[in-house]
Chains A and B, each alone.
Chain A
Amino acid sequence: MTIHPSELIVPGPTPTGESEKFWAGCRDGELLLQFCERCEHWVFYPRTVCPHCWSDRLDWRRAAGTGSVRSFTVVHKPGHPGWAVAAPYVVAVIDLAEGPTMLTALVGVEPAGVRVGLPVAVRFETVGEFVLPFFAPVPPTA
């Protein structure tokens, strides 16, 4: 089974004033991350100060949208009932090319095809009223 995002009826994100640019970027098909102009670290999730140096000089920049699987799990018994229709599905943490880590669900792949280190790229999918940054293998395997 693989996830069909358009069929999901699940809890969406709760954007804040700090993160609204990130979600707006998703709607526009861009993965936007914060970049600290002082210490030059990329930052995810969005914040008011850099978690590396506490500077508030955080700029928004477009990320490559690529990375690799840091770890993953195939969820058989979801913590929220809305995800039952997708189970078993893959939740993964991605090491983004820019450095930060991001949790996401994988699409376009069977669970058996996932491994640590798998190269992936962002794939924007509409779930309810939001566009979410899911990830899929590159090159596609399914």
Chain B
Amino acid sequence: MSGTRPTGAIVGVGELTPTRTTSGKTTLGMLAEASRLALEDSGLDRDRIDGLLVGPQVGETPQHVPATVAEYLGITPRMSNVVDLGGASGPGMIWRAAAAINAGMATAVLCVLGNHREPVPSRSPNRNPIREFDVPFGASGANTAYALLKTRHMHDFGTTDEQFASLAAVSRANAQSNPDAIFYGKPIDTAGILASPMIAEPLHLLEIVMPVAGGDAVIVMGAEAAEAATLRHAPVYLRGAGEMVTHRAMSQAPSYTTGPLKPSMAQALAQAGIGIDRIDLLSLYDCYTVMLAITIEDAGLCAPGQFGAWAAGRDLSHTGDVALNTHGGQLGFGQADLAGGMSHVVEAVRQLRGTADGRQMADAALALVTGNGATMSEAVALVLGRDR
């Protein structure tokens, strides 16, 4: 990347008048006020904003901070991040915004910081909208949210319990080629998955990932620097990327049957200059069967509502015509908290290097990797390639 430099321009500024205390206000609300002032100062249309950089642990929101701020502002950024640099966070946001723009991930990035200050410290630090408007009605945790997706998919398309369960059965079958998988040595068929306890109708226990302890790490370099270095394995190239955030609470989701991975995957494939038909390995985030089903459809592998027929007509193992989650996916391998998403990256790298012992694909050149956060809200797609 020698010879390139970040470029960018500040086009609007907004600042709230400092006060000692802010009785009744929230940090989310104050961020919105500052954002509105900056937009007004810029003269831009609000819909031009397509990137978001925020500080960590925004007031009432200890987790999922960018998604919560994006939802609050009614925007769906294609790039978002927490910038956690203490007093340097503001300046740090400016080059990140410029870098993101130069990378083609956004065109107008909102960088915003702020905080409320109560006269008396609040009893609970968690006052974000999902805590106020979802939890009091008995909707705690991810199971309820993903169940809402499955209900609506079945309603709109007539998809069946058996079709969803078949995806978990594929994951279990693939896990039998991976001694590290939590379900290695424990295959199960569709009927067995449907016989598992009902958790949040229509979600069965075995349509949900198994939480495990574990971890994943990846070291990334520039392509030219990697080629100049002495490495143990050939580099795996980032050929394309896409990202979108749409909401935090399921009650605010724009759709229950398609998600932000759809445009994310389309962008990643477009940057790579290939169609989905060129992909050898699908390494798709599968916290729940319904998430995997919608991802298959959003990838354009089949029409909406047709994942069941698509899966039924294919061998999805590492020797099949389309390889899907060859390490077992999280449904078969296990989900080590946030590392669960990275396990899909690691498996793709192993397959592309030719080091997926015991489950190596014959000629894997291109992999599609997806990540998903909250409930079909925080989406990232990558195309990884054996060749540059």
CB distance from A33 to the nearest CB of B (A): 12
A76 nearest CB neighbor, chain B only: B198
Q: State in angstroms the CA–CA spacing of A114 and B197 once bound together.
A: 21
Within 8 A of B (CB), among A72-101: 72-80, 83, 86, 88-89, 91, 93, 101
CB distance from B50 to the nearest CB of A (A): 14
A17 nearest CB neighbor, chain B only: B24
Does A60 make an interface contact (CB < 8 A)?
no
Does B313 make an interface contact (CB < 8 A)?
no
Chain A residues positioned under 8 Å from B7 (CB to CB): none
Chain B residues positioned under 8 Å from A48 (CB to CB): 25, 29-30, 32-33
B33 touches A10 (CB 8 A): no
A18 nearest CB neighbor, chain B only: B29
B interface residues, tally (CB under 8 Å)? 54
CB distance from A60 to the nearest CB of B (A): 15
Does B95 make an interface contact (CB < 8 A)?
no
CB distance from B18 to the nearest CB of A (A): 17
B24 touches A79 (CB 8 A): no
A87 nearest CB neighbor, chain B only: B138
B75 nearest CB neighbor, chain A only: A51
A14 touches B126 (CB 8 A): yes
Does B251 make an interface contact (CB < 8 A)?
yes
Chain A residues positioned under 8 Å from B256 (CB to CB): 70-71
CB distance from A45 to the nearest CB of B (A): 5
> Which residue, B33, B136, B138, B155, has most C-beta atoms of chain A within 10 A?
B138
A78 touches B46 (CB 8 A): no
CB distance from B160 to the nearest CB of A (A): 16
Does B364 make an interface contact (CB < 8 A)?
no
Does A121 make an interface contact (CB < 8 A)?
no
CB distance from A135 to the nearest CB of B (A): 10
Chain A residues positioned under 8 Å from B199 (CB to CB): 76-77
A134 nearest CB neighbor, chain B only: B137
Q: State in angstroms the CA–CA spacing of A18 and B200 once bound together.
A: 32
B153 nearest CB neighbor, chain A only: A71
Chain B residues positioned under 8 Å from A4 (CB to CB): none
A77 touches B143 (CB 8 A): yes
Does A140 make an interface contact (CB < 8 A)?
no
Q: State in angstroms the CA–CA spacing of A71 and B376 once bound together.
A: 15
B205 nearest CB neighbor, chain A only: A77
B144 touches A91 (CB 8 A): yes
Q: A71-B155, A103-B139 are in contact. Are A54 and B148 (CB under 8 A)?
A: no
B201 touches A88 (CB 8 A): yes
Chain A residues positioned under 8 Å from B60 (CB to CB): 16
Q: State in angstroms the CA–CA spacing of A13 and B60 once bound together.
A: 13
Q: State in angstroms the CA–CA spacing of A72 and B148 once bound together.
A: 5
B144 touches A75 (CB 8 A): yes
**Residue-wise interface mask of B (110-147) relative to A, using a CB-CB cutoff of 8 A (1 in contact, 0 not):** 00000000000000101101011111111111011001
B144 touches A71 (CB 8 A): no
Chain A residues positioned under 8 Å from B258 (CB to CB): none
Q: A14-B126, A14-B132 are in contact. Are A51 and B137 (CB under 8 A)?
A: no
Q: State in angstroms the CA–CA spacing of A104 and B133 once bound together.
A: 8
> Which residue, B75, B151, B256, has most C-beta atoms of chain A within 10 A?
B151
CB distance from A111 to the nearest CB of B (A): 7
Chain A residues positioned under 8 Å from B201 (CB to CB): 73-76, 88, 111
B33 nearest CB neighbor, chain A only: A48
Give the residue of B133, B138, B148, B198 whose beta carbon is less than 8 angstroms from that of A83.
Answer: B138
B138 touches A105 (CB 8 A): yes
B250 touches A130 (CB 8 A): no
Give the residue of A13, A47, A77 whose beta carbon is less than 8 angstroms from that of B32.
Answer: A47
**Residue-wise interface mask of B (199-213) relative to A, using a CB-CB cutoff of 8 A (1 in contact, 0 not):** 111110000000000
Q: A54-B35, A101-B251 are in contact. Are A116 and B136 (CB under 8 A)?
A: no
**Can you list 24 residue pairs at the A/B interface with Cβ under 8 Å?**
A17-B25, A19-B132, A45-B129, A45-B252, A48-B30, A48-B32, A48-B33, A49-B35, A51-B72, A52-B74, A54-B46, A70-B152, A73-B148, A73-B200, A75-B147, A77-B200, A78-B140, A79-B141, A79-B144, A86-B138, A93-B250, A102-B251, A105-B138, A134-B137
Q: List residues of chain B with CB under 8 Å of any chain A CB.
A: 23-26, 28-30, 32-33, 35-36, 39, 46, 60, 71-75, 124, 126-127, 129, 131-141, 143-144, 147-149, 151-152, 155, 197-203, 249-252, 256
Extra contacts, 7 of them, besides A74-B198, A76-B199, A89-B138 (Cβ < 8 A), are A13-B132, A56-B36, A73-B203, A91-B144, A91-B148, A102-B251, A111-B201
Q: Which 4 A-B pairs have the closest CB atoms?
A: A17-B24, A51-B74, A79-B140, A79-B141
